[in-house]
């Protein structure tokens, strides 16, 4: 079956512009996660969604970052007024449910803010 | 807060040898620990999960150990092959095991030379 897909694969934007990143999780996976990976660094947790529960937004670095998820399907991560330090690969993952289950990652969106 | 330490220096070994990668954590002992493989330009791929009550887990040529006294996990690849060359990430849950939120180490890059 299809894995986690993300779009776009690459995004170059000017400082101050808003960007929207999309994630399509694996069908049937109730949990969805967003991570950020800066060059040469580990993954940094941003936010997760589990079913219809309120999302855990504790990893979002500032109020310029927000995310939504429609039911148990598509999620979008929005970054407003982008800054150069937002340049990174944004990875989405899904899992069958929370906790103790492996996460399946998409290929990521490489965001470059010029 | 929990911190994960993985050797940031690349590990270079000869084909056929056993590669051993280390993951140390500094704070509370997690309920489980995961290992992922990441190839350049791609999202991480889940390899193994080991729970706190398991000392060792194996999957084909992979072996993971978990020592809660030493606060350390070792990841072994036996009979290594050039195709095993990648970055290997260790991941732990934040606090409670029920959230699914993971903290990732920055990874260790393995190079297997033919």
Does a structural domain hold residue A106? no
Check which CATH number belongs to the domain holding A46 and give it.
2.60.40.10
Burial class (CB in 10 A: 0-12, 13-18, 19+), A84: exposed
From chain B, pick out residues whose CB is under 8 angstroms from the CB of A93: 43
Q: Which of residues 65-104 of B touch A (CB under 8 A)?
A: 89, 91, 93-94, 97-104
pLDDT tens-place string over residues A43-65: 999 999 988 888 999 999 999 99
Could you tell me the domains of chain B?
A: 1-6+22-34+41-82 (2.60.40.10)
Interface contact flag, A101 B41, Cβ < 8 Å: no
Does a structural domain hold residue A110? no
Interface contact flag, A45 B98, Cβ < 8 Å: no
Does a structural domain hold residue A45? yes
Interface contact flag, B42 A108, Cβ < 8 Å: yes
Rounded CA-CA distance A6/A94 in Å is 12
Does a structural domain hold residue A95? yes
pLDDT tens-place string over residues A92-109: 999 987 665 789 999 999
Does a structural domain hold residue A32? yes
Does a structural domain hold residue A16? yes
Interface contact flag, B49 A102, Cβ < 8 Å: yes
Query: CA quadruple B94, B98, B99, B102: dihedral positive or negative?
Result: positive
pLDDT tens-place string over residues B34-80: 999 999 999 999 999 999 899 899 999 999 999 989 999 999 999 99
Q: Are B105 and B91 in contact (CB under 8 A)?
A: yes
- Find the domain containing A43 and state its range: 5-101
- Number of structural domains (chain A) is 1
């Amino acid at each position: 079956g299809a894995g986690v897909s993300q779009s776009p694969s690459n995004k170059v934007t000017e400082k101050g512009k808003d960007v929207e990143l999309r994630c399509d999780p694996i069908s049937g996976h109730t949990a969805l996660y967003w991570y950020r990976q800066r060059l040469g660094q580990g993954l940094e947790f941003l936010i997760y969604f589990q079913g219809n529960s309120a999302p855990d937004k504790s990893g979002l670095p500032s109020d310029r970052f927000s995310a939504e998820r429609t039911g148990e399907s598509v999620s979008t991560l929005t970054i407003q007024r982008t800054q150069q330090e937002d340049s990174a690969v944004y990875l989405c993952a899904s899992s069958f449910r929370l906790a103790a289950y492996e996460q399946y990652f998409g290929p990521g969106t490489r965001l470059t803010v010029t | 807060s929990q911190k994960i330490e993985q050797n940031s220096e690349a590990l270079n070994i000869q084909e056929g040898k056993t590669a051993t990668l280390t993951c140390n954590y500094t704070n509370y002992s997690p309920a489980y620990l995961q290992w992922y493989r990441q190839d350049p330009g791609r999202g991480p791929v889940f390899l193994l999960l080991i729970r706190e009550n398991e000392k060792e887990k194996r999957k084909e040529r992979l072996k993971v150990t978990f020592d809660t006294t030493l606060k350390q996990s070792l990841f072994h690849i036996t009979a290594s092959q050039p195709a095993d060359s990648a970055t290997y990430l260790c991941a732990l849950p934040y606090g409670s095991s029920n959230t699914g939120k993971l903290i990732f180490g920055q990874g260790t890059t393995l190079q297997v030379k033919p």
